[in-house]
Amino acid sequence: MWAFLGSDVMFFGAFIATYLVYRGKSLNGPYPSEILNIPITSVSTFVLLMSSLAMVLGLHYVKEGQKNKGTLWILAVVVLGAVFMGFQFVEFREFAHEGLTPRTNLFGTTFFILTGIHGAHVTIGVIWMAFLAYGSHKGALRSDNALDLEIAGLYWHFVDIVWIVIFTVIYLISANDGPPAGIESILHG
């Protein structure tokens, strides 16, 4: 699993690098400063962070052998993950409504593909967790094979950490990005 995560680090790394290279190079709006809604995304980030906490608690109780508490916390992970995806869905729709699509400009291209790929990871995680919650409910997930959950948890924490990086580079450091300097000469040069 660690090897897989290493692989995934390269994967996200390259996408984030692309985003950073293209940051502030969009030739036309909407620019990040005009469209990003940091308070709302902060809430969804908080939701995702809480899901990691739930993950830790779920693993703890499964290892302790407390089946019901374990199931409950794993279920919490599923719900929180789904809420996060809901936020992302609403955000995507809102952006499209305001005229930002992957085809609009470089910001749109890099933003949608990067957060979309992350969203796909979260979705896979949610489905995986739902399976594990079901397994835990049925009593198939026990303290002796908690490794299954531990691996899933590793994945979940990883996806969470990646989001913190994405949140930092997209929402925090480029929140005020407008058109690139000298855009006139780029467009008409």
Partner 1 sequence: MTIKSLTLPQLFPRPKSSTGIWSWIGTVDHKRIGTLYGITAFIWFIVGGIEALLIRAQLASAENDLIDPETYNQLFTMHGTTMVFLVIMPLSAAFFNWLIPLQIGSRDVAFPRLNAVSFWIFLFGSLIINASWITGNAPNGGWFGYAPNSSTTFNPGMGMTYWVVGLNILGVASIAAGLNFIVTILNMRAPGMSMFKIPIFTWMTLITSILIVLAMPVLAVAGIQLQTDRVYGTLFFDSLGGGDPVMWQHIFWLFGHPEVYILILPAMGIVSEVLPTFARKPLFGYPFVVFAGAVIGFMGWFVWSHHMFTVGLGPAANTAFSISTMLIAVPTGVKIFNWLGTLWGGNIRLNTPMLFSISFIAMFTIGGLSGVMHASPPTDAQQQDTYFVVAHFHYVLVGGALLGIFSGIYFWWPKFTGWFLNEKLGIVNWALMLIGFNFTFAPMHWLGMDGMPRRIYTYAENMGWEGSNLAASIGGMILGLGILVFIINVFYSKMNKQIAGSDPWDGRTLEWSTTSPPPPHDFDVIPQVRYRDDFWFTKYPETISEYFHDDHDQAVPSGAQFDDHDHDPLVVSGGADDHDDDHGHGGIHLPDMSYYPFILAFGIAIFGIGFLTNTYIIGIGAPFFLWGLIGWSMEPVNDPE
117: nearest Cα among 163, 170, 164: 163
14: contact with partner 1 by CB under 8 A? yes
Q: Cβ atoms within 10 A of the Cβ of 181, count?
A: 9
Provide, rounded to whole angstroms, the least separation between the CB of residue 64 and partner 1: 18
Q: Kindly determine how many residues on this chain lie close enough to bind partner 1 according to the rule CB under 8 A.
A: 40
Q: Minimal distance in Å, beta carbon 137 to partner 1?
A: 11
Please give the Cα distance from 141 to 71 (Å, whole number): 9
95-121: b (≥16 Cβ within 10 Å) or e:
beeeebeeebbbbbbbbbebbeebbeb
Structural Rg of the chain based on CA atoms: 19
Nearer Cβ to partner 1 (9/164): 9
189: which residues sit within 8 A by CB, 6+ positions away?
Answer: none
Tell me whether residue 45 or residue 105 sits nearer to partner 1 (CB atom).
Answer: 105
Is 150 one of the binding residues for partner 1 (CB under 8 A)?
yes
**Is residue 124 involved in binding partner 1 (CB under 8 A)?**
no
Q: Does 141 bind partner 1 (CB under 8 A)?
A: yes
25 binds partner 1 (CB under 8 A): yes
**Which residue in the set 10, 39, 185, 189 belongs to the binding site for partner 1 (CB under 8 A)?**
10
Residue 187 exposed, middle or buried by CB count within 10 Å (0-12, 13-18, 19+): exposed
Is residue 181 involved in binding partner 1 (CB under 8 A)? Answer: no
Residue range at the interface with partner 1 (CB under 8 A); choices 11-19, 68-76, 90-98, 163-171:
11-19
- In the chain, at which residue ranges do the beta strands (DSSP E only) sit? none
- Tell which one of 26, 41, 71, 88 touches partner 1 (CB under 8 A): 26
Of 181, 179, 140, 168, whose CA–CA distance to 42 is shortest?
168
Residues near partner 1 (CB under 8 A):
1-4, 6-8, 10-11, 14-15, 18, 21-22, 25-27, 102-103, 105-106, 108-110, 112-113, 117, 131-132, 135, 138, 140-141, 145, 147-148, 150-151, 154, 186
